[in-house]
Amino acid sequence: MGKGSRGAGDLPVAPSSDRFGMRQSLMPLDYPDPELTSDLIRLRKWTYNDLPCVEAAGTDPKIPQGTTVPPLYTEEEGRAFIERQWGRQIGGQGLSMAVADAGTNEAKGLVFLGLGRIRGHCRLGYWLIPAARRQGLGTDAIGLASRWVLTATDVHRLVAEVEPSNVGSLALLRKCGFTEEGLLRSWLWIEDELFDATQFSLLRTDLM
Ligand SMILES: CC(C)(COP(=O)(O)OP(=O)(O)OC[C@H]1O[C@@H](n2cnc3c(N)ncnc32)[C@H](O)[C@@H]1OP(=O)(O)O)[C@@H](O)C(=O)NCCC(=O)NCCS
């Protein structure tokens, strides 16, 4: 296990917090060690070699709308995107990992675990470049990342918010065992417009 991460049975004593658990998460997430792998993918730290993946992600207009992927790719913007991914971990906001092909190591997508202000809560984000979809990579990426964060860190509740019209994302979360909790009305800001979101969760106890 990497420096700064810990097993579920090795939790630090919680510092004082109010009765709603509202305080910054205890510890930043570190990259999983050993790396999370399946037959199809590995989840790893972003590198500057991943610029083609950032460029390809920007060709699906939906991705730049909901993320910081540059809509108009330049090498400078691509490098800045990758540096922002490193910064998530360094700044304690969470962990952004590249979803890379297990054989070639080529980056095909992203999975993000974002720490919330409530103790033990985490938000999930993900995308795959268009050419890598419908091949099971999303299932493996979400399966690996969610199981790891709920069992190897002090996160106990992982949530994902999805536009109700995003059938691929809804299918992916259901396949990965997430429970639909309900509709959050006027919840998501996408380019100055408000959208409803369907909220899903996966709990540590769901894995037992
Ligand atoms: C959502 C996304 C990550 C799915 O990843 P993926 O690798 O294509 O998903 P998988 O191949 O693992 O498929 C998982 C399940 O979802 C289903 N599915 C995936 N895309 C689908 C689609 N567009 N329509 C219907 N079902 C779909 C698959 O059939 C599979 O179910 P099955 O095994 O029962 O057939 C991908 O489409 C994507 O990156 N979309 C754009 C970004 C995005 O929407 N991100 C999420 C924001 S909340």
Residue minimizing CA distance to atom 1 of ligand 1: 169
- Residue-range domains of the chain with CATH: 36-207 (3.40.630.30)
If residue 141 lies in a helix (H) or strand (E), which one and from where to where? helix 137-152
Average pLDDT along the chain:
90
Least confident of 3-7, 79-83, 159-163: 3-7
**pLDDT, greater one: 10 or 112:** 112
Asked whether the beta carbons of 158 and 122 are under 8 A apart, the reply is yes
For ligand 1, atom 34: residue with the closest CA = 175
CA 176 vs CA 38, 61, 99, 143, 202: distances in Å: 15, 25, 16, 6, 9
Answer for the pair 43, 144: CB distance below 8 angstroms, yes or no.
yes
Which tokens go with 113?
Answer: 């675990």
Q: How far is CA 114 from CA 85, 99, 130, 157, in A?
A: 11, 16, 23, 11
Distance 22 CA to ligand 1 centre (A): 33
DSSP state of 118: B
Mutate which of 62, 128, 167 for ligand 1 pocket (most atoms within 8 A of beta carbon): 128
Please tell me the distance between residue 75's alpha carbon and the centre of ligand 1 in angstroms.
Answer: 28
Please tell me the predicted confidence (pLDDT) of residue 3: 34
Please count the helices (runs of H) and the strands (runs of E) in the chain: 5, 8
- Name, in order, each residue with C-beta under 8 angstroms of 90's C-beta and a sequence gap of 6 or more: none
pLDDT, tens only, 36-54? 999 999 999 999 999 999 9
- Distance from Cα 13 to the centre of ligand 1, integer Å: 39
Predicted local distance difference test score (pLDDT) of residue 139? 98
Q: What's the pLDDT at 21?
A: 54
Higher pLDDT, 8 or 122: 122
Distance 123 CA to ligand 1 centre (A): 18
Q: What is the pLDDT of residue 12?
A: 35
**Range of 6-15, 22-31, 121-130 with top mean pLDDT:** 121-130
Diameter over CA atoms, the chain: 48
Stretch (H or E) spanning 179: strand 179-190
pLDDT at 19: 52
Cα 126 to Cα 142: distance, rounded to the nearest angstrom? 8
Whole-angstrom CA distances from 187 to 129, 193, 195 are 25, 10, 6
| pLDDT given for residue 191 in this prediction | 82
**Which carries the bigger pLDDT value, residue 190 or residue 75?**
75
Instruction: Output the pTM of the full model.
Output: 0.90
pLDDT for res 28: 86
182 has a pLDDT exceeding 60: yes
Backbone angles phi, psi at 178, to 5 degrees: -75, 150
pLDDT at 10 over 70: no
Note the pLDDT of residue 27. 75
Looking at residue 5, its pLDDT comes to 35
When pLDDT is averaged across residues 177-202 and rounded to a whole number, the result is 95
Residue 52, by phi and psi: left (phi above 0), alpha (psi -120 to 50) or beta? Answer: alpha
The answer to whether 86 and 93 have CB atoms below 8 angstroms apart is no
Residue 22 has pLDDT above 80, yes or no: no
Distance (Å) of CA 58 to CA 51, 71, 138: 11, 5, 18
